[in-house]
Amino acid sequence: MLSKYLSVVTTFARHPGQGVHILREHIVSPLYIKSFYLIGGMVVSALFGFLFWMLAARSATAADVGLTSAALASSNLLLVLCELGLGTALVYFAGLKPDRVVALVNGIVRAGWMTISTATIVFLLGMRFWSPGLAPISDSALLILSYAAFTTLNHILALQDVAMLSQGRARYIFWRTLACNVPSVALLVPLVALLGAQHGLMLAYFLPNIAVGLFVGAVVLPRQFSGYRFFGRFDRDVLGQVATYGSSNHVGNLFWGLPAYILPLVAVNTLTAAETGHFAISWTIANFVLIAPRMIAFALFTEAAQDPNGLRARASHAMLLILALVTPVVLVLWLVGEHILGFFGQEYVQLSLLRMLLISVVPFSINSVFFVMLRVHRQLKHLLLFSGSIALAILGSTITLVPWLRADGIAASWLVGHMLAAVWAAMTVSRLSSMRPHNVKVNL
């Protein structure tokens, strides 16, 4: 499969017309349609996110920008820790037993409320211990309450997104994502002027998500799923069978997602406040590019869960689409990255940092598709070993590289971890592609 990926890159480079024709042949497939909706929502919201951080950099100090970025990273880390394989199980079992989707959604949403609420309370009570760099948040009751509401409702929104996607409602996710992200830009300047930089930045980001979360849970989901409840409802038969599959995937999901959420916390707790702000901007730009592999891999899983036997072809199509989308973006950012960083202010121009993160896009994309293939094939031990090795390589490298290279050391750690894993994936993917996915017996 790797050779096909390389040939696709060569085709687009040498014969753009032929490359476009190849892409057009698959453009109407459900995988691509879902991918385009997911990517479309994330790209537009990321563009508004770019505006948000540009305004933030010009309206507040680098220290305030770094603190806000770290607060969001800690919230996302809680979401990863509390996912418990619930979203993964919802996608998988909704495809197998559509007649029990409402009971499945209610049960998973109830479990989501319980886990994220507990984790958020524990984190806030011990914030000065878990992450001393976030201590300023604990000094404000308003920030504590808004952080708790934002984190909790964001987790539930993620589960609701999966429920809607399992029913083919990718369009909903497009509009929901915009509703959560676009208003933040409009709120930032007036809230900073009214409440100060620290409160203004965080509340501008938190409040739209809180409002959308309440509206979706109270109005949108009950219309799509007759019998849906805001706080969900347990169904022991459903959750009993879902728990085994979900929990077995959770550790792999955890290892896979941890580095992306921990690295900003590494920055805020090991670098100066200004260095953390510089890292946050380059990290945000790099994550804009990573939207494509993340969303396409997610769409690949939702499709392959319904028809595992078509995984090999879908994986090839997914990688083709990823390469077609990210290659021109990486090239543009590589060439004009200095000017883009300059929009935030000259102090944010850290080209070596940005370029290391851009190089990591290709190995990250390969690893994302390979991770989905392992999940669909139910190669759980291999999945845990693969994702755990990535996390260990990235986080372990920071111990050596960050004291030496500072912010560049964090980017180098991310790059090294994914490059090593991509070599592993390239050596293993042919054998994995020849295997038949394991079937899962369910009686929901």
Instruction: Give whole-number Cα distances, 28 to 21, 184, 301, in Å.
Output: 13, 33, 17
Instruction: Give whole-number Cα distances, 221 to 25, 218, 232, in Å.
Output: 35, 7, 11
Higher per-residue pLDDT: 13 or 145: 145
Task: Provide DSSP, 373-402.
Answer: HHHHTT-HHHHHHHHHHHHHHHHHHHHHHH
Residue 18: its pLDDT value, please?
55
- Does residue 387 carry a pLDDT above 90? no
- Does residue 2 carry a pLDDT above 50? no
Residue 14: its pLDDT value, please?
58
Residue 1: its pLDDT value, please?
46
CA 56 from centroid of its chain's CA atoms: 22
Share above pLDDT 70 across residues of the chain, in percent, rounded to a whole number: 85
Please state, in angstroms and rounded to a whole number, the distance separating the CA atoms of residues 296 and 26. 14
Confidence of residue 67 (pLDDT cuts 50, 70, 90): confident
- Token pair recorded at residue 179: 């509703």
Domain limits, the chain: 2-433
Confidence of residue 440 (pLDDT cuts 50, 70, 90): very low
Least confident of 41-45, 58-62, 117-121, 190-194: 41-45
240-290: pLDDT as tens digits = 667 766 776 777 887 887 888 788 778 777 777 777 777 878 888 888 888
Residue 148: its pLDDT value, please?
93
Residue 419: its pLDDT value, please?
92
Average pLDDT, the chain: 80
Mean pLDDT confidence for 407-420: 88
DSSP code at position 436:
P
Confidence of residue 442 (pLDDT cuts 50, 70, 90): very low
Please state, in angstroms and rounded to a whole number, the distance separating the CA atoms of residues 140 and 4. 54
- Token pair recorded at residue 420: 């090593």
15-26: pLDDT as tens digits = 555 555 555 555
- Is residue 417 within 8 Å of residue 397, measured between CB atoms? yes
DSSP code at position 437:
P
Confidence of residue 396 (pLDDT cuts 50, 70, 90): confident
- Is residue 177 within 8 Å of residue 169, measured between CB atoms? no
Radius of gyration of the chain (CA): 21
Mean pLDDT confidence for 102-121: 89
Q: Supply the pTM of this predicted model.
A: 0.70
Nearest to 217 by CA among 152, 144, 168, 166: 152
Confidence of residue 214 (pLDDT cuts 50, 70, 90): very high
